[in-house]
Amino acid sequence: MVAAYLYLIKIRILTSLTYRFELIFAIPKQIIFISLNLLLWKTLYSDKAAVSDVTYEQMLTFTILIAFLNNVYVHSIEGTLRGRIRMGNVAVDYIKPINVFAMYLADDLGLIVVNLVQRFLPLLLIYSIFIKSLMPASIINFILFLVSVALGFLIIWLLSAIFGLLYFWVIDLGLLGEIRDYIVNFLSGSRISK
């Protein structure tokens, strides 16, 4: 049964890689993002070693973590459910011999893999030139960070799934989805660097 979900992840990766425009321009887009962040923080730290006990390298590390989280916390379940419910195709998903929500989760996990390879990996490689140490304080901190990222993704994904299920009862949520995204981004701290 796991093989079916791994196959869905593979299909999502292959589908995303067929869009050559996105593939070609992902790296230059990340270079522009890096350059702007480097210039911003270099300007703010030009005459100071630290601002509020935060050094230039720590701020760049924070920027990398935000970029990582922005590439991990992607989900398409709400939009997928909305589109499939409106078109009446959701019934086809429910007659498939696999769990519908696990199928949507596998699709989003494939999207995360593509984002990490296309967007975050080039960013990390280029940023590693400017930052002396990107290593966590300890291996336990790193493991706890990965666990918190996984749990955070699960919370955001389930919240989006709940909002997606609301489309069975309403035609359009209006700004409710955007308000939810803004609150989640603000509480996660990612709104600071966007």
Taking the whole predicted model, whether its pTM rises above 0.85 is answered as no
> Which of 6, 67, 62 has its CA nearest to residue 32?
67
Residues 6+ apart with CB under 8 A from 157: 75, 77, 105, 108
pLDDT, tens digit, 9 for 90 and up, residues 80-122: 888 888 888 888 888 888 888 999 999 999 988 888 888 888 7
What is the average pLDDT across 14-20? 78
* 3-state secondary structure at position 50: strand
Please say whether the beta carbons of 33 and 67 come within 8 A.
yes
The alpha carbon of residue 103 and the mean position of all alpha carbons in its chain are separated, in whole angstroms, by 18
Other Cβ atoms less than 10 A from the Cβ of 23: the count is 14
Residue type, 105: L
Domain ranges of the chain: 2-45+53-192
